[in-house]
C-alpha cells in the first residue's frame, strides 16, 4: 500500500492546485468506482502486514490503490466546498435580514380609489320655439324621452279623469295598451296628474318607428291626415330623435307640432285640457 499512498499524496497535490476548488465533473464516475472498490476492500478478509489483500474481481492491486487515492481527493474537495458554504452562511443571513427589513418598510397596498361616475352634462340644443296656431285638427300625442318614442293616449286619460270622484284626494290608474300609468292628487279646485313610465316599457327607437309594422306607424296611419296631426313632447336628451321623427312624419303626409319639456321633469296633466296646437 506504500506506493499507493505516495501516488495518493501526489494526486492531492495536483488537485489542490485547481483554481476553482471543485472536483472536476469528469472525475465523478471515477470517484464512485473508487468508493465501490474501497467498500470491497473494507469488507474483505483481515490480513497481516506480511499478507497482501485480495484485489476485487477484475481489478489489480495497483488499480484499487489508484481509485482509493482519487476517492480521497474527492473527499478533500468536498470538505473544501462545505467549508466555503459555512463561511458564506453569515453573509447570506445578513442579506436575508436586509431584504426582510426592506419588505417591512414597503407600505401595504391601498384599496383602489372609488371614483364617482362622471355626471352627464346637460346637452345644449338650439331650436326655434314652437309657434302656436289654432287648428281644427285633433292631436295624436307622443312622448320623446331617452331617445325613444311612446304614445300617450289623451282620450283615455280624459275618460278616466271624468270618472274620478271629486272627493278622492289621491289618484292612480293604469292606461291599457300603453307605456305609461297615471298618478296624481286632487283638491277642491284642481286635479293634477303625473305621467309615469311603466317598467319594461321603453318605447320605440328611431330605427324601430321606421318599420312598417311599428306601433308609431300603425297609430299614425289610423288617423285621417285632414283631421289629425302628430304632436311630440320632447325632452332635451332626445332632440335629435325628435327631429328625425318629425321629418319622417312629414314624409308620411301629416302635420307636426311639438312642445319642449324640462330636463328631469315629468309630464303634468290638469283637468280641462285645451285645444291641440300645430307648428
Mean pLDDT score of the chain, rounded to an integer? 77
Q: How far apart are CA 96 and CA 115, in angstroms?
A: 40
Nearest to 274 by CA among 141, 127, 181: 141
Pairing of strands 138-145, 148-151: antiparallel
Nearest to 271 by CA among 176, 189, 174: 189
Query: Cβ of 121: how many Cβ atoms within 10 Å?
Result: 6
Q: Which pTM does this prediction carry? A: 0.52
> Which residues, 6+ apart, have CB-to-CB distance to 249 below 8 Å?
220, 230, 256
Q: Are 20 and 11 in contact (CB under 8 A)?
A: no
Using alpha carbons only, how large is the chain's radius of gyration in Å?
Answer: 51
Q: Is the pLDDT of residue 21 over 80?
A: no
How confident is the model over 189-239, as pLDDT tens digits?
788 888 999 989 999 999 999 999 999 999 999 999 999 999 999 998 999
Q: Are 74 and 27 in contact (CB under 8 A)?
A: yes
Looking up cell 296656431 gives: 133
Amino acid at each position: 500500500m506504500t506506493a499507493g499512498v505516495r501516488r495518493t499524496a501526489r494526486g492531492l497535490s495536483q488537485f489542490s492546485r485547481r483554481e476553482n476548488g471543485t472536483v472536476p465533473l469528469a472525475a465523478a464516475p471515477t470517484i464512485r468506482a473508487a468508493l465501490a472498490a474501497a467498500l470491497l476492500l473494507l469488507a474483505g478478509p483481515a490480513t497481516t502486514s506480511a499478507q497482501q489483500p485480495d484485489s476485487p474481481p477484475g481489478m489489480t492491486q495497483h488499480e484499487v490503490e489508484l481509485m482509493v487515492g482519487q476517492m480521497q481527493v474527492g473527499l478533500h474537495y468536498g470538505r473544501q466546498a462545505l467549508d466555503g458554504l459555512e463561511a458564506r452562511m453569515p453573509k447570506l443571513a445578513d442579506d436575508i435580514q436586509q431584504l426582510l427589513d426592506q419588505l417591512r418598510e414597503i407600505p401595504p397596498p391601498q384599496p383602489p380609489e372609488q371614483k364617482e361616475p362622471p355626471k352627464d352634462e346637460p346637452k345644449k340644443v338650439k331650436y326655434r320655439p314652437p309657434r302656436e296656431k289654432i287648428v281644427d285638427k285633433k292631436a295624436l300625442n307622443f312622448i320623446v324621452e331617452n331617445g325613444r318614442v311612446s304614445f300617450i293616449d289623451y282620450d283615455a286619460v280624459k275618460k278616466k279623469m271624468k270618472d274620478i270622484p271629486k272627493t278622492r284626494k289621491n289618484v292612480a290608474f293604469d292606461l291599457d295598451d300603453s307605456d305609461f300609468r297615471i298618478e296624481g292628487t286632487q283638491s277642491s279646485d284642481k286635479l293634477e296628474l303625473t305621467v309615469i313610465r311603466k317598467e319594461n316599457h321603453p318605447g320605440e327607437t328611431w330605427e324601430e318607428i321606421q318599420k312598417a309594422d311599428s306601433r308609431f306607424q300603425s297609430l299614425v296611419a289610423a288617423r285621417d291626415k285632414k283631421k289629425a296631426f302628430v304632436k311630440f313632447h320632447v325632452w332635451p336628451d332626445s332632440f335629435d330623435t325628435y327631429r328625425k321623427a318629425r321629418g319622417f312624419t312629414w314624409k308620411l303626409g301629416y302635420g307636426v307640432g311639438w312642445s319642449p319639456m324640462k330636463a328631469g321633469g315629468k309630464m303634468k296633466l290638469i283637468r280641462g285640457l285645451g285645444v291641440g296646437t300645430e307648428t
